[in-house]
Structure 1
Amino acid sequence: MTTYVLVPGAWHGAWVFEPLARGLRRAGHEAYPLSLTGVGSRRHLLTPSVNLDTHIDDVANLLLDEDVRDAVLVGHSYGGMVVTGAADRLPDRVEGLVYVDAPVPEDGQSLWSLVTENERAWYLGGTSANGYASAPLPFFDPRATPHPLASLLQAVRLEGGLERFRAKSYVYAAGWPTPSPFTEVYERLAALPEWRTYSLDSGHNVMRDAPEELLEVLLSHGEPA
């Protein structure tokens, strides 16, 4: 049995991962889809002080509270920042990492520094309402909620590298309507033997556009190549 912790991207709550979580549970695994502080079902906690460290705490505290010691952390989009920080915080409780069309940051990098001007314009959209939250885009699911801007700007601080983790997978969404900010990440990791990489015919919301393919990737994570 594997324990999966599913971390959504900006503006999205645990609901975006719920169908995938049900598939993992049917296969006999544990699955914890998260709503990060200030987003989704926890939107009542949105304040100017919510940042990337807050969201890393969300994942780290789940691992501690549930006494998880063999976690596969799955991060979609912004969630890649969060799972990287959480794995660095508690490496002895993490077995592997799956990045779903997400950044794979190094120490000192922020999501803001890793995307293009197109995404930066998204992040700044709607911040005039209160100055500290990025409004969801019009084409998002109606359940999407404002996202704390500080979390998109803050750099991650890491003590070690990803070589500490046995199994690492990257899922690339090849169907972006505009140039993807994650193409370079996918191509770089595809050349490394310690990574498993997948290119799916999907838009950025892989959980919605390619759910069966993503489930198959997660179920095969960690198996011998």
Structure 2
Amino acid sequence: MATYVLVPGACHGGWWYEPLAAELRQEGHVAYPVTLTGLGDPQELLAKPINLDTHIEDVVRLLVEADLHDVVLCGHSYAGMVITGVADRVPERIASLVYVDAFVPEDGASVMSLTSGFWHDWYIGGAKADGIGVAPLPVLDPRATPHPLACLVQAIRLTGALRRVPRREYVYLANFENTPFTPFYERLREDPGWHVRSLPVGHNILRDAPDDFRKILLGAAP
């Protein structure tokens, strides 16, 4: 039996992972689809400041309070920032990191510093209404909610402790238009410390290649 903690990308909650989580549970595994602060109840965006540290703390708190160990920690898209921070804080609880078309930041990087052009237009333009939340792109699921702008602006701070995680995987989704993730794929596929693969699908892997995604997660289990 493996334990999976599944962190969604910008504007998405744990609902995005639920079909996959249900399949993993049916196979006897434990799965926690995470809804990060501000992504479940939009009123949270106005109630308190939310930044990248908030989201990292959300996942660390889950791991500690549920006393989870040997975790397969998966992050899609923006959540690469989150799982990187989590792994740096509690590497002893994590067996595998699985980045799915996601950011892999180094110390001092932010989503804003790792993107440009189309993405900056969305982040800044999408926050015009209140300067707090970035409105979902029209192509996203109707359940998508505004994403806290500060999460995209704040730089991550890393000690290097995440290098203690035994296994790291990167899944590149090659048919994602305007992808900001090509540099990570090109860098990591030359790194012997990573297991890297590419799939000829778009960014929504749960829609385009759900069976491949499930097999990748099963293969990442300790």
Q: How many Å separate the matches in 1 of 2:130 and 2:20?
A: 34
Deviation of 1:64 after TM superposition, in Å, equals 0.8
Q: How many Å separate the matches in 2 of 1:194 and 1:128?
A: 41
Tell me: CA distance 1:116–1:128, structure 2 relative to 1, closer, same or farther (3 Å). Answer: closer
- Which position in structure 1 is the counterpart of 2:214? 215
Q: How many Å separate the matches in 1 of 2:171 and 2:125?
A: 27
Deviation of 1:161 after TM superposition, in Å, equals 4.8
Q: How many Å separate the matches in 1 of 2:41 and 2:158?
A: 26
Q: How many Å separate the matches in 1 of 2:89 and 2:162?
A: 12
Matches within 5 A, 1:1-225: 1-39=1-39, 41-47=40-46, 49-178=49-178, 180-222=179-221
Deviation of 1:50 after TM superposition, in Å, equals 0.3
Identity %, equivalent residues: 55
Deviation of 1:127 after TM superposition, in Å, equals 1.3
Q: How many Å separate the matches in 2 of 1:92 and 1:27?
A: 25
Deviation of 1:13 after TM superposition, in Å, equals 0.8
Structure 2 contact 91–161 (Cα < 8 Å) conserved: no
Tell me: CA distance 1:116–1:161, structure 2 relative to 1, closer, same or farther (3 Å). Answer: farther
Deviation of 1:116 after TM superposition, in Å, equals 2.5
Deviation of 1:192 after TM superposition, in Å, equals 1.5
For structure 1, list consecutive stretches of 5 or more residues without a partner in the other structure.
Answer: none
Across the aligned residues of Structure 1 and Structure 2, the Cα RMSD in angstroms comes to 1.3
Aligned length: 221
Structure 2 contact 99–170 (Cα < 8 Å) conserved: yes
TM-score (norm 1): 0.94
Tell me: CA distance 1:151–1:75, structure 2 relative to 1, closer, same or farther (3 Å). Answer: same
AA paired with 1:54? T
Deviation of 1:177 after TM superposition, in Å, equals 2.5
Deviation beyond 4 Å, 4+ runs, structure 1: none
Deviation of 1:191 after TM superposition, in Å, equals 1.2
